[in-house]
Amino acid sequence: MSVLRVRFAPSPTGYLHIGGARTALFNYLLARKEGGTFVLRIEDTDVERSTHESVDAILQAMTWLGLDYDEGPYYQSQRFDIYRQKVRQLLDSGQAYRCYCSAEELEAKRERAMQEGGKPRYDGTCRDCSDEPDGRPFVVRFKSPMEGRTSFVDRIKGEISFDNTELDDLIIQRSDGTPTYNFVVVIDDAEMAISLIIRGDDHINNTPRQIPIYRALGYPVPEFAHVPMILGADKKRLSKRHGATSVMAYREMGYLPEAMVNYLVRLGWSHGDEEIFSMDELIEKFSLDNVGRSAGVFNPDKLLWLNEHYIKTGDPQRLGALLAGFLAGEGVDVSAGPPLEAVVKSLQDRAKTLLEMRDGALFYYREPADYDPVAVEKFLTADKRDILEKLVGALAGLDDFGVDSIEAAFKQVLEQTGLKLGKVGPTVRVALTGGTVSPGIFDVIAVLGRERVIDRLEKAIDHLGR
């Protein structure tokens, strides 16, 4: 039995799209499950649109998702000599030919075919011509089979068959000497010994064009598995109008890679009623047999639900390291505040994204210089000055500054004043955070630490004095 070799082959003309990331993930999981090889190839033959920035964006997204590849990245732009050699091989064997038809002539042929009720396809004018006009520009076309059918068994969709009369003679080399996609993808997949091609089902119509090229060059035809596309809520192909479609945009919005991986794999693959999987579990359980044939619908709410789960159950130390980057973007020096791990623990049950966690964490690192005016008017009132002073005294005298000791100090002050925590807690929260929303007040005090708490309470007392 041959060893599985799969590939992911994005074009570097933009960011890594959600759909591309899912295709990469399916390839990665199957390779890891079956002990195969996962190859990364950058299809950058479109010189005008391909950029180094796009290549970097793809590589960064792969790294963020944890999709480590075994070979590559290979670049098509560095393989032009191989493609020219294969064009020459097909020309010499009579399986390709030079086409001298001008753009104007081709357009006229297309219009005529459409007027006659046919498809706008090349009519084979130069297919059997022996004339080769000197100096006249030409393209090279592949002699597609004119009779019969081209069929293959798709690992996801089953048997698929195309009538060869529907195909025209594909251009494999442009007039400027550059090769075309359907040609180079065959060469690369064959030369890299790719045994299974997992790609989006928008490539299904390319497959009957590519299979004859494999055969003409004497290559074995690989297996194919075409993954259904991803749609937006309106059942149209996922695009920017549905929101962010870039993988890295979700990182910037505070999503965790494990949430994105978990969501993408479930967007077309199932394993009973299970929803949450670690990467190791996915590698163990993934199979093309359980990939659906119909398109998946992207649901941002489901992705957010998964992200919330992974934040709640995540390692606080790791989340703290990630949070530090988001806080740095706000100009926060985390070394001047409470320990990140403690901050994360206080916010894990409240945040759905790292952006939300960042916003909830800012008060830990910034003193409430400008109190929320509505909160001040309602809670930070002059009649609360006495209880704040008593709290300062009680908290300053604690030997242990843990949550239990802090709660005991509060109870002591409440008994002295005859007030309830519901009357005092909001005032303390405003004094410490500047607003009315935060984790539990005892947790906030414990995380801030004695020095910061007493300093902020005393500043609130001074504010009331003024």
Provide the annotated active-site residues. Answer: 240
Collapsed DSSP state (helix, strand, coil) of residue 383:
helix
> How far is the C-alpha of 278 from the C-alpha of 294, rounded, in Å?
25
Residues 202 and 231 sit within 8 Å (Cβ to Cβ) = no
Kindly state the helix (H) or strand (E) to which residue 296 belongs, with its residue range: strand 296-297
Question: 426-441: b or e for each residue (b if 16 or more CB lie within 10 Å)?
Answer: bbbbbbbbbeeebbeb
Phi and psi at 141, nearest 5°, equal: -115, 145
> How far is the C-alpha of 438 from the C-alpha of 421, rounded, in Å?
16
End-to-end CA distance of the chain: give it in Å, rounded. Answer: 83
CA distances from 77 to 14, 41, 57, 175 (A): 17, 11, 18, 17
Kindly state the helix (H) or strand (E) to which residue 154 belongs, with its residue range: strand 149-154
The DSSP code for 384 is G
Per the structure block, which two tokens stand in for 442? 């005892």
> How far is the C-alpha of 439 from the C-alpha of 122, rounded, in Å?
69
> How far is the C-alpha of 180 from the C-alpha of 202, rounded, in Å?
17
Collapsed DSSP state (helix, strand, coil) of residue 232:
coil
Residues 329 and 361 sit within 8 Å (Cβ to Cβ) = no
Per the structure block, which two tokens stand in for 51? 């950029």
The torsion defined by the Cα of 75, 76, 81 and 84, in degrees rounded to 10, comes to 170
Q: Which amino acid is at 33?
A: K
> How far is the C-alpha of 326 from the C-alpha of 453, rounded, in Å?
24
Q: Which of 397, 409, 383, 395 is nearest to 448 (CA)?
A: 395
Per the structure block, which two tokens stand in for 249? 């945009």
Residues 332 and 366 sit within 8 Å (Cβ to Cβ) = yes
Q: Please tell me the number of Cα atoms within 13 Å of 253 on its side-chain side.
A: 17
Question: 255-276: b or e for each residue (b if 16 or more CB lie within 10 Å)?
Answer: bbbbbbbbbbbbbbbebeeeee
